[in-house]
A and B are shown apart, each in its own frame.
Chain A
Amino acid sequence: MMGRTIFIDPGRCIGCQACVSACRECDSHRGKSMIHLDYPDEGHSVASLPTVCMHCEDPVAPCAEVCPADAILVTADGVVQQADTTRCIGCANCVNACPFGVPKIDLQAKLQMKCNLCYDRTAYGLAPMCATVCPTGALFYGTLEELQAERPGVQVADSFTFGTTTVSTGVAMVVPADRVQWPVPGGLPVVEINGRDVR
């Protein structure tokens, strides 16, 4: 399973948007945030969850697969990079292809931008800025073992099925032990998580 990666635990999210502000501080996307908050049960609950790039592994990053300009590179360690500024044509194919609703287009600059897992930090062994500051651990960076040592009994999912397509991701989500149905922000209805039918 996954090595050192981000684990998203929506149960802990307090909707503070520290991750959103922290993402702006990352030098690699020049003051813009690549995270957004989602509110899955509005009107009934204050529940929220941060959406970061899931860094899809299998199939290799749908956003990269559909890019006509080969602008989205996937590094050997599984990080799906944001578009190469010298190649990106701003066509938004990546936006349409992503099942999690992550990539963003700057229409003026005709440029795609997305979370690159703070490559400037993780390459040096640091946690991404969002997971570093997250006041509650809703974004946790580390290995599954480290997560489970801190949170005994925690269960995670890194495989999601949308319709007939299953996507395995580098980033994982914490799922409740007793309830596996989990809305994925911005995407199609999830029908299967880790091989379990959740319809």
Chain B
Amino acid sequence: MTATDPSRALPLDPSLAPPGTRDFRDAGGIPADRWRADQNGETLVPTHCCFCGVQCGMYLRVDRGGKVFGVEPRNHDINRMRLCPKGINAYQQVNHPDRLTAPLMRLGRDEEFREVSWDEALDHTVSEIRRIQGEYGNDAFGLLGGASLFTEKTYLVGKFARVALKSRHVDYNGRLCMVSAAGANKLAFGIDRAGNPFSDILLTDCLLIAGSNVGECFPVMTQYLWGARDRGATLIVVDPRETAVARTADVHVALKPGTDSAFFNAVLHVVVAEGLADEAYLAAHTTGWAEVRQTVADYPPARSAETCGVPEEQIVQVARMFAGAGKAMAWHARGVEHHSQGVENCLSIINLCVATGNIGKPGAGYGTITGQGNGQGGREHGQKSDLLPGGRSITNPEHRRQICEIWGIDEAELPPAGTSMMEMVWQMQREEIRGLVGICNNPFVSLPNYATVKDGYDTLQFHAQFDFFLSETAANAHVVFPVTVWAEDEGVMANAEARVVKHNKAQEPPAGVRTDTWVMCELARRLGAGDKFEFPDSRSVFEELRIASAGTVNDYYGITYERLEETGGIAWPCPTTEHPGTPRLFEDGGSYHPDGRIHLQVVEWHPPMDPYSEEYPLSLTTGRTVAHFLSGNQTRRLGALVEQTPRPWVEVHPSHGFRNGDPVRVVTRRGSEVLPALVTEAIRPDTVFIPYHWPVPTSANALTIDALDPRSKIPEYKVCAARIEAAERIDEVPAPPTAPGQQAYPETQVSRTDPLPPTSPQGRGTAERS
């Protein structure tokens, strides 16, 4: 019997999709010549997907009228024609009926938005910035950027905050992504990026994937995993859930959420105990090994097995498999990074790689798989609160002097380090930050502990957002600036390999829409800093960025637009225009620390911040689903993707007694919500899972805890204490917000082209059928 039998389908049919969900096909906006075989005059614009950190190459199909109307696979090094459903449907954003095409403004949150001129929106914003900063000081106004922006724009975000706003408070939503890995890499290696290119995966003998649902979050990367296995590599997956990749692994370690470093310390314990450490490498190239060795001695497998809820033999097996392989690699993602000990978790994996000599060789090394398209590049040039361009530290006097010289400002004018994204929300609650501009982010869905986030934003006296759809956060703002989608501008992004790739412009933006670059420069001009923001386009920003990064670890100087177009991407550091880039780090055995050694760090496991109790005995963990991207502001509007995964669910083990589709109330110390059960043996009995792309009342982040890692300040999304109970009804999925005037589009249901009933999301669940 198959899932196409109606009696076996979850109640996740299209009628549960948010009303009004549509793509341009459903809304009647089909270009006149779409679906015709004779596409004469069609052009293909080479570019990359706007979504995850894999950055697949693609062509956008452009019709004779200059409109993007489709996608074609592109044989780029990274993806070799492959695309995932998000990439295939991404083009539908460009001419989507929900696009914002005029600035929106209102004076109070109880008013309706009205369309205003660009001058009115900009002038009002500038006057509010001046008023708030005049009354409460420069730091009372903050800026939050995004890691889906081109790197040029993230550079401008950092410069705009410090030079035009003169505020210390700038941060970005990459803070919610891979900053734990960044922090760990910086501590251990002195450089913040993956050590190896994806192609090295094909050369490894043993691949360890930790906390990464590769199949759903980075589907195109799976071809590298399968390629390695074709060549005989073993696969170890560490994840509380049996993901599609874990299903096929040689060893699947289904550990209890929040116990990663206890597990990896125990693995290293076995490596040491069995004499599998590469002592010669450690002696020649590292510091701190003696302390690490001493620490892991306190993590015998039996004890960690109990902590992690996994068999002791599995710990021994993983140690022997990883350390015994000729070449081994470890790749990790948010599963180990989204914790109050995220940096420590990453360091425990680095310790394992380095202790076994698996570093700096083809097929041996480490990598972090970036969630956002520009999660890597988005922080490299000054958007993060503690960083200046080129990855310079804002607290380092020499680094400050260098950047002030390039920016042409007095060093005393450069603000000190600010706080992280979540901390800024707490500051809003305390009225320390009273005004905010958000660019390309949607904290109402993406930050943990929604009630706190809403309270913080509601306390703001003025809030402006840049976006191309009216996100849940933009719907809270006073001013919304309509800006370009990725296909309407050019710029670079750095993918998970630190390979810088160039996105090209495929279409002119709609009338009334401006680039983020134009809006920032115009605001800067009206704030009196126009001479520092004379950037007519992305290229001019990139030229300044190249110079600003020259000589740093994050050296982009040798990368030019022309070289990127010729080569298909260059990995930084790339110090000269003749330099080929650096796809693989540490080939000489050194590191980027001044002493040239890898600094191993002691890691001690501690429990998650939200304690379990009789009332809250389970672990709630969250993650992504393949059809949606991050806060869903983009993908929850595309019919095909909504049809694929119309709503969230709660994944529960059959031992709880629920039947598939039952209403289940999930309760944490922050709140509760009711979702349909997806009953499956693919999750631990003590753990429940909710995908996080939806807003309240179906928001995973209404339940998650806003505890932060003390070093990276990443929230602990991946574990909090919870309980589940039977409920009467299922919470409805709200429709994405739309701007005034957009109601003119017909309300359409998602139209299934397939007469078969829908299957469960990602095919999970339905344990009662067993």
CB contact between B215 and one of A14, A25, A107 (< 8 Å): that residue: A14
Q: B2 within 8 Å of A by Cβ? A: yes
CA distance A165 to B221 in the complex (A): 40
Contact of B763 among A31, A42, A133, A134 (CB under 8 A): A42
Which chain B residues lie closer than 8 Å to A137 at the CB level? 223, 226
Q: Does A68 contact B (CB under 8 A)?
A: no
Q: Please give me the residue from chain B that is nearest to A183 by CB atom.
A: B2
CA distance A14 to B762 in the complex (A): 8
A78 to chain B minimum Cβ distance, whole angstroms, is 22
Residue B130 interfacial (CB < 8 Å): no
Q: How far is the CB of A52 from chain B (nearest CB, A)?
A: 13
Q: Mark A142-155, 1 if CB is under 8 A from B, else 0.
A: 00000000111000
In the complex, the answer to whether B71 meets A43 with C-beta atoms within 8 Å is no
Mask of B228-242 contacts with A, CB within 8 angstroms, 1/0: 001000000000001
Residues of B within 8 A of A15 (CB): 215, 244, 626, 762-763
Partner of A43, one of B70, B640, B766: B766
Residue of A24, A39, A101, A136 touching B223 (CB-CB under 8 A): A136
Task: Tell me, in angstroms, the Cα distance from A28 to B35 when the chains sit together.
Answer: 7
Question: Which residue of chain B is the closest to A129 with respect to CB atoms?
Answer: B73
A47-B186 Cα distance, complex, nearest whole Å: 38
Point out the residues of chain A lying under 8 angstroms from B73, CB to CB: 129, 132-133
Contacts of B763 in A (CB 8 A): 15, 37-39, 42, 46-48
Asked whether B88 lies within 8 Å of A18 as measured between CB atoms, the reply is yes
Smallest beta-carbon distance B461→chain A, Å: 44
Given A46-B763, A101-B4, A135-B222, decide whether A27 and B85 contact each other with a Cβ distance below 8 A: no
Give every chain A residue within 8 A of B221 (Cβ-Cβ).
Answer: 135
Interface: B759 (CB within 8 A):
yes
User: B247, A40: Cβ atoms under 8 Å?
Assistant: no
- Does chain B have a CB within 8 A of A122? no
Indicate whether A36 sits within 8 Å of B226 (C-beta atoms), given known contacts A45-B247, A46-B243, A133-B82. no
Task: Say yes or no for B62: interface residue by CB 8 A criterion.
Answer: no
Residue of B3, B82, B660, B770 near A135 (CB, 8 A) is: B82
Candidates B81, B644, B762, B764; contact of A132 at CB < 8 Å: B81
Segment 755-770 of B: residues with Cβ below 8 Å from A: 755-756, 759-760, 762-770
Answer whether A31 and B753 are a contact pair too, CB < 8 Å, given A16-B215, A46-B762: yes
Q: How far is the CA of A106 from the CA of B222 in the complex (A)?
A: 34
From A27, A37, A136, A152, B219 is in contact (CB under 8 Å) with: A136
When the two chains form the complex, which single residue of B755, B767, B768 contacts A104, counting CB atoms closer than 8 Å?
A: B755
* Chain B residue at smallest Cβ distance from A136: B222
A60 is an interface residue with CB less than 8 A from chain B: no
Interface string of B645-664 (1 = CB under 8 A from A): 00000000010000010000
| A179 on the B face (CB < 8 A) | no
For the complex, give the distance between the alpha carbons of A12 and B227 in Å: 11
| Residues 120 to 135 of chain A near chain B (Cβ within 8 Å) | 120, 127, 129, 132-135
Is there a chain B Cβ closer than 8 Å to A4's Cβ? no
The count of chain A contact residues (Cβ–Cβ below 8 Å) is 51
Given contacts A11-B248, A31-B753, A32-B753, contact A18 B84 (CB under 8 A): yes
Known contacts A17-B626, A136-B219, A186-B4; is-contact A42 B769 (Cβ 8 Å): yes
Q: Considering the complex, give the chain A residue whose CB is closest to the CB of B3.
A: A39
Which residues of A lie under 8 Å from residue B245 when comparing CB positions?
Answer: 14
Does B121 reach chain A (CB closer than 8 Å)?
A: no
Name, among B25, B226, B679, the residue most crowded by chain A CB atoms within 10 Å (CB to CB): B226
Whether A16 contacts B640 in the complex (CB less than 8 A), given A30-B35, A42-B8, A42-B763, comes out as no
**Residues A44 and B770 in contact in the complex (CB < 8 Å), given A18-B84, A132-B81:** yes
Establish whether residues B244 and A107, one from each chain, have CB atoms under 8 Å apart when the complex forms.
no
Q: Are B755 and A31 in contact (CB under 8 A)?
A: no
The answer to whether A133 and B83 have CB atoms under 8 Å apart is: yes
Given contacts A42-B765, A45-B682, contact A37 B755 (CB under 8 A): no
Provide the residues of chain B in CB contact with A172, threshold 8 Å: none
Q: Interface size (B, Cβ < 8 Å)?
A: 62
CB contacts under 8 Å to A, within B617-674, are 626-627, 640, 644, 654, 660
Q: Is the CB of B84 within 8 A of A135?
A: yes
Q: Which residue of B lies closest to A153 (CB)?
A: B230
Q: Does A161 contact B (CB under 8 A)?
A: no
Q: Closest chain B residue to A24 by CB distance?
A: B640
Contacting A39 at CB < 8 Å: which of B70, B87, B640, B760? Answer: B760
CA separation between A185 and B25, bound complex, in Å?
30
- Residue numbers in B under 8 Å from A44 (CB-CB): 680-682, 767, 770
List, in ascending order, chain B residues with CB within 8 A of A183's CB.
2
Residues of B within 8 A of A28 (CB): 37
Residues in A whose Cβ lies below 8 Å from that of B660: 43
Minimum Cβ distance to chain B for residue A23 (Å)? 9
Name the B residues within 8 Å of A166 (CB-CB): none
**A42 pairs with B242, CB closer than 8 A:** no
A106: chain B residues within 8 A (beta carbon): 755
CA of A14 to CA of B756, assembled, Å: 20
Residues in A whose Cβ lies below 8 Å from that of B36: 27
Q: How far is the CB of B11 from chain A (nearest CB, A)?
A: 15
B89 on the interface (CB 8 Å rule)? yes
Measured in the bound complex, the distance between the Cα atoms of B83 and A25 in whole Å is 12
Q: How far, in whole Å, are A25 and B767 apart by their CA atoms in the complex?
A: 34
Which residues on A sit within 8 Å (CB–CB) of B37? 27-28, 120
A22 to B756, CA, bound (A): 18
Please determine whether B753 and A185 come into contact, CB atoms closer than 8 angstroms: no
Given known A16-B219, A39-B759, contact A135–B83 (CB-CB < 8 A)? yes
Cβ of B386 < 8 Å from any Cβ of A? no
Q: Which residues of A contact B248 (CB under 8 A)?
A: 11-12
Question: Among B2, B8, B35, B89, which residue has the most Cβ atoms of chain A within 10 A?
Answer: B2
B753 contacts A33, C-beta separation under 8 Å: yes
Whether the pair B230, A150 counts as a contact (CB closer than 8 A) is yes
Cα–Cα distance between A101 and B766 once the two chains are bound (Å): 21
Task: Check if A13 is an interface residue, CB within 8 A of chain B.
Answer: yes
Q: Which residues of chain A are near B244, meaning CB under 8 Å? A: 13-15, 46-48
Of the candidates A21, A42, A101, A134, which one forms a contact with B82 in the assembled complex, judged by CB atoms under 8 Å apart?
Answer: A134
Residues of A within 8 A of B171 (CB): none
Instruction: Indicate if the CB atoms of B81 and A133 lie closer than 8 Å.
Output: yes
What is the distance, in angstroms, from A169's C-beta to the closest C-beta of chain B?
A: 18
Residues of A within 8 A of B3 (CB): 37-39, 42
For residue A105, CB closer than 8 A to chain B, the reply is yes
Asked, given contacts A15-B762, A27-B37, A31-B25, whether A46 binds B85 with beta carbons under 8 Å apart, the answer is: no
A22 and B753 contact, CB distance less than 8 A: no
Contacting residues of chain B (184-228) with chain A, CB-CB under 8 angstroms: 214-216, 219-223, 226
The residue from B39, B247, B760 contacting A42, defined by CB atoms under 8 A apart: B760
In the docked arrangement, what's the CA distance between A46 and B85, Å?
Answer: 18
Besides A46-B247, A46-B682, 15 other A-B contacts (C-beta < 8 A): A12-B226, A15-B626, A16-B219, A18-B82, A20-B644, A21-B640, A33-B754, A37-B3, A42-B8, A42-B763, A129-B73, A133-B73, A135-B223, A136-B222, A183-B2
Supply 9 A–B pairs (Cβ within 8 Å), ascending by A: A12-B222, A14-B214, A14-B216, A20-B85, A20-B644, A30-B35, A36-B759, A39-B763, A135-B219
What residues make up the interface of A, taking CB atoms closer than 8 Å to B?
11-18, 20-22, 24-25, 27-28, 30-33, 36-40, 42-48, 101, 104-107, 120, 127, 129, 132-137, 150-152, 183, 185-186
- 7 nearest A-B pairs in the assembled complex, by CB-CB distance: A39-B763, A14-B215, A43-B767, A32-B753, A14-B244, A135-B219, A21-B88
